[in-house]
Amino acid sequence: MRPEPPYSHGQAAHMGIVWVNLGSPDAPTPSALRRYLARFLADPRVVELPRALWWPILHGIILNVRPRKSAAKYATIWTPEGSPLKVWTERQAKLLQGLLGERGHRVQVRWAMRYGQPAVGAALDTLKAAGCTRILVLPAYPQYCAATTASAFDEVYAWASGLRWVPELRFVNQYHDDAGYIGALAARVRAHWAQHGRPERLVMSFHGMPARTLQRGDPYHCQCHKTGRLLAEALELPPEQAVVTFQSRFGKAQWLQPYTEPTLVALAQQGVRRVDVVCPGFTADCIETLEEIDQEARAAFLGAGGQAFHYIPCLNDDIGWVRALADIAERHLAGWPTKQETDPAASAASRERALALGAPR
């Protein structure tokens, strides 16, 4: 077990939140991508194949071919501050910390990446070192999926397994149908339409997963469709104008359908002139939205005869989204003493209530 700081009787309890996203390479280079992909694709939650079958493919082929191609794609979206996913995730954590503070909560928020830096364990170490005895694990994935949500939880469990004094832990499994989240998505789309007009189709593209995950009981597919339905209803879109698709297919196995890019090509070939694409499953823009959708899918639609393609950015640091996120956090923090009374009169009244109920002085 890792060494613990000396325990001090009577030390004040603190609460923390770790805001977990998927991850990103440290740089848009083949060597950085090789390190990132080696960890990402080695996760048995991500690739559900026997090691004896998968390991030769991963280390003999994929890690020798894919890093250079992926690095070139990352280079097209890289910012002076680094990976967009890391930039937005860090900003979201800071905004969440600030908004919870404005609401009177004494909660420390740290952000982490399941694959990459800062690591989940490092963020949790920081919270524990700061005296946090209660920690809420809040994934950046609205829809529950074993390959994302459960994998993040695995990392937390692994961290806790090396501790003598494990903090009290809570986990947020999903918020795919949360009213605030849906409202923030709808407001994002409406703001785009107010500036650019409305499309003939709104395509809601979610990250894909192998079809067998649905057959094995993963709720991800159903939760994506529910998010899509609720968003379409909030936007008052008729069913024929709203399309749910799945992107990022990898390998030759069947994945959740319909696939995003072939759907866009088919729409263009059917005479649809303009599509808008939004990615509700991503709370921060990243390689899958900025390169795969706004570059590759755009080129496919226009190349098939479409006339106008609009990508609607992710929620990122939208204040409506941060408020919704703070609401989600507050609900899951319920019962923990996150607020401190500073008004002497209120504190005295609280003591009187406690005495009236028979609580010890």
Annotated binding site: 207, 288
The rounded distance, in Å, linking the Cα atoms of 233 and 101 is: 33
- Cis status of the peptide bond prior to 118, with omega within 30 of 0: yes
Alpha-helix residue ranges (DSSP H) falling in the chain? 30-40, 51-57, 63-75, 84-102, 120-129, 151-160, 179-196, 211-215, 220-234, 260-269, 287, 298-303, 319-333, 344-356
Which amino acid would we find at residue 148? Answer: T
The rounded distance, in Å, linking the Cα atoms of 268 and 274 is: 8
The rounded distance, in Å, linking the Cα atoms of 313 and 254 is: 28
How deeply is 4 buried, as exposed, middle or buried, from its count of CB atoms within 10 A (0-12, 13-18, 19+)?
A: exposed
The rounded distance, in Å, linking the Cα atoms of 152 and 158 is: 10
CA atoms within 13 A on the CB side of 358: 0
Rg of the chain (C-alpha set): 23
The rounded distance, in Å, linking the Cα atoms of 100 and 109 is: 9
Measuring CA to CA, which residue among 259, 295, 338, 343 is closest to residue 101?
338
The rounded distance, in Å, linking the Cα atoms of 269 and 229 is: 25
- Residue 16's DSSP bridge partners are 108, 135
Binding residue ranges for Fe(2+): 207, 288
